[in-house]
Amino acid sequence: MIEKTAEPVPVLEARNISKTFKAATHEVRALDGVSLSVARGECLAIVGESGSGKTTLANMLLGIYPPSAGEMFLDGQMLPTRRSLPLRRAIQLVQQNPLSSLNPRRTIGASLRLALDVHDIGARQERKTRVAALLDEVGLPAEFASRYPSALSGGQRQRVAIARALACEPEILVLDEPTSALDVLVQARVLRLLDELRHRKALTYVFITHDLAVVRNIADRVAVFERGIMVEMADTETIFTNPGNAYTRSLIGAIPIITDEEEALRKTVLENKSAH
C-alpha cells in the first residue's frame, strides 16, 4: 500500500523526543530519546507494557503536553508548544474507555456537534445532517443522535468515540487501546470498522496497544517500547517472524493463542534467539 522506494515527507515525525516528569523527591524519565516517523496512510503500532511510555508519547503527539526535549513535525512543519486550532484538529484521539471519554450528560448528537462547532466545520445549518452522516460512517443509525451514552452498548459507544474523532476531519488518528475494553466479537467488528475507515478516508493511524495479535492484523509497522525507550522498530511481518529484540520476543511468547499454527510460530520466534 505504501510506496517504500520514494521517501515522501512523513505526515508525522518525532525527532529525539524525551519526557521527564518531576515528582517531589525524584524525576521519572517517561520517554527517552524517541525518534519515529509515520507515512501518510500508514498504521504504525506502538506496543509495550504499562509504564513503557506509550501513552506519554500519544499525549505529546496530541499536544496535551510538550516534550522536555526534542521536536515534532506535522507535514514537515515543526509543531509549536501551543498549537493553533487547525493543528489540533489535524490529530485526533480515540481513547480506551468510551464511557469515561464521552460526556454522560450530553446526547451523542450534542457531543458530535460540539466537535463541529469548536472547529467551525461546515455551515451551521447543515451540521445536523453532518452528525447523521458521521453516525452512518461508523455504522450507527441516525436516531442515536438523541440518545445518551448510557443507553448504548460498549461497542456502540466506541463507534461514537470514533465518529467524534472523525468529525474534525483529521489527518491522523491516535488510537489508545481502542478495543481492549470490548468483548471479542465486538472487538473484531470495531477493528474491522477502523481498518475500513483508514482505507476509505486515507487516514493515518498511530495505534497504541499491548495486544500483539491485533497488531499483526492491522498495522504496517510496529514500534516496541520498554521503559521509555524504543527498543525495536520494524515492519509487522519482521516483528512476528524474526524479532531482533529479547523484549519483543518475550511479548510474543506471552500472547495467549488458540491455534496450532500460532503455537508453531511462537515456538520458532522463541527458539530463534540464538540467531541474534
For position 267 contacting other proteins by CB under 8 A, the verdict is: no
Backbone angles phi, psi at 241, to 5 degrees: -105, -30
Residue-wise over 9-18: b if at least 16 C-beta within 10 A, else e?
A: ebbbbbbebb
Query: Site residues for other proteins, window 217-256 (CB under 8 A)?
Result: 217-218, 240, 250-256
Contact stretch for other proteins (CB under 8 A) within 35-43, 118-126, 170-178, 184-192: 184-192
List the x/- string, 4-43, binding to other proteins by CB under 8 A: ----------------------------------------
Contact stretch for other proteins (CB under 8 A) within 16-24, 106-114, 115-123, 215-223: 215-223
User: How would you classify the pairing of strands 69-74 and 12-22?
Assistant: antiparallel
Classify 177 in phi/psi space as left (phi over 0), alpha (psi -120 to 50) or beta: left
**One residue of 138, 214, 222, 223 binding other proteins per CB under 8 A:** 214
Q: Which is nearer to other proteins, 31 or 218 (CB)?
A: 218
**One residue of 49, 69, 114, 119 binding other proteins per CB under 8 A:** 49
List the x/- string, 114-153, binding to other proteins by CB under 8 A: -------------------------x--------------
Beta bridge partners of 232: 224
User: How would you classify the pairing of strands 43-47 and 69-74?
Assistant: unpaired
Four-CA torsion 110, 94, 14, 235, nearest 10 degrees: -150
Interface residue list for other proteins (CB under 8 A): 49-50, 139, 154, 183-185, 187-189, 191-192, 195, 210-214, 216-218, 240, 250-259, 261-262, 265-266
